Amino acid sequence: MICFCAYSGKWQRSKYVGVSLVGKTIAIMGFGKVGSEVARRAKGLGMDVIAHDPYAPVDRARAIGVDLVSFDDAISTADFISLHMPLTPSTTKIFNDETFAKMTKGVRLINVARGGVVDEEALLRALDNGTVAQAALDVFFEEPPPKDSKLVHHENVTVTPHLGASTTEAQEGVALEIAEAVIGALKGELAATAVNAPMVSAEVLAELSPYVVLAEKLGRLAVQLVAGGSGIKAVKVVYSSARDPDDLDTRILRGMVTKGIVEPISSAFVNIVNADYVAKQRGLRIIEGQILLDGSPEIPINSIQVQLANVESKFAGALSDDGDIRVEGKVKDGTPHLTLVGPFSVDVSLEGNLLLCRQVDQPGIIGKVGSILGTMNLNVNFMSVGRIAPGKQAIMAIGIDEEPDKEALKLIGETPSVQEFVFLKL
C-alpha cells in the first residue's frame, strides 16, 4: 500500500486510519538476535510482548520481560505477529490455512524473515476474508515476485524489496567489520566469519576427519529431540579416548557439534568457524569432557557423546537416568554410526532419514511397524533394536529412504505397544 493520494494532491485522511500499539500484544516468532531486539523496541512502545522459539532459553527472554509460549498460543492471542525464524523443513509454509484459522481476526502480520515460511496463497485468502487485516512483507518465496502478484498489489499489503538492514549505518558497520576482520587475520587472529579458516593443523585434521561428520550429525540429531518451548542452555560433549587429554585437540569436533546444533535453529549462516559465536549469541554454553580409556592411544577417538541438559525431549526414550537428552556415536569403517540413544544401545548409520520408536519389547512389534512402512511404500535401508531387558522397554532405530507423510506417522503412532516415536532428518 503506497500513499499516492497526497502525492496526487488529494487529502484523504480517513483512508489511512491506523491502530494504536500501546496495550496491543505482539508475538515474536523466532527469538534470536533480531527477534530479541524487536522485542525490546516493542516493549518501549508499550506493547505486551510474547515470543515463540523452541530453542531459546527461558531466562534470556524473561530478562527483557518476554514470556516464551507455544506456537499456537502465540498466534492465537497476538494482535501483531512478527516473523524472525529461519527457513527449515519444519518451518516451510508453517503459516498456512490451518494456522491462519487459529489467529485473532484482524491480526497484523510482518514477515522480515524468509519468504518460504509463509504460504503466500493462504495469506492472500486470509487477507481477503479479514483474518489478516494488514501484512507488511520484506521477503517472498520468489524474489523479485511476479509483476502480476495479487499479494504485492493487495490494498492491505505493504511491500519492500528485501531491504533487511539496508541503512547507511548498517552498511558502514558492515564495512568496518570487514576491515577489522582483515586486520585481525593479518595479525594472525581468527576471523569469526571466515568460511575457510584452518582451526587445527593439517596433521590433526587428517587424523580427526572421520570424526568430523560424526560430531556434526550427533549435534543435528540431538537438537531435533528437543521439545518445543524447551530452551537449550548447555551442551556437554564427551569424548571417550585412550589418549592423554593434552594430546587430544578437539576444537574442530567441538565446532562441528556446535554447528550441528545451532545451524537448524538459526537464521544466520553457520559454519565451523562462527558456530561458537552464534551459540554464544543464543546464550548456549558448550562444555567438553573426556573419559580416559585403557588401550592404544593411536586411535584418537573411541566415541563421541552429546548431552543436552535441563531440556524437555519430544522423545522420552532419549533421556538418560539424569534426565538429559543423550546420544552417542562411533566411526565404523569410515562411516558415522549412532550407538546410543538415552539408555538404549543401537547401531545404525547416521545418514538420511531416521525413525525412532519406543515400545514394550514383545513379539510382533517390529513386523507391524515394518508392514506399515511397506504398505506406505517407504523403503527400510537399515534397522537396529535396543532394549533394557527382555519384555521391558526397547527402541527401534529405522533408516528409511523417503520422508513419511502424516498418514504413515499416524498409523505408526496407533500401533499397539508403540509408546512414542519421532522422525529425524540427518
- 212: exposed, middle or buried (Cβ count in 10 Å: 0-12, 13-18, 19+): middle
Q: Which of 52, 60, 108, 114 is catalytic?
A: 114
Q: How far is CA 239 from CA 97, 236, 288, 357, in A?
A: 46, 10, 8, 27
Q: Which of 143, 169, 203, 298 is catalytic?
A: 143
114 is catalytic: yes
Q: Does residue 263 contact residue 316 with C-beta atoms inside 8 Å?
A: no
Determine the 3-state secondary structure of 337 from DSSP. Answer: strand
266/43 Cα distance (integer angstroms) = 23
Detail the DSSP E strand segments found in 119-265.
132-137, 157-159, 234-241
Q: Does residue 260 contact residue 248 with C-beta atoms inside 8 Å?
A: no
Q: Which of 121, 125, 162, 207 is catalytic?
A: 162
162 is catalytic: yes
Q: How far is CA 234 from CA 310, 313, 327, in A?
A: 8, 14, 15
143 is catalytic: yes
Q: Taking the CB of residue 261, how many other CB atoms lie within 10 A of it?
A: 32
Q: Which residue numbers are catalytic?
A: 114, 143, 162
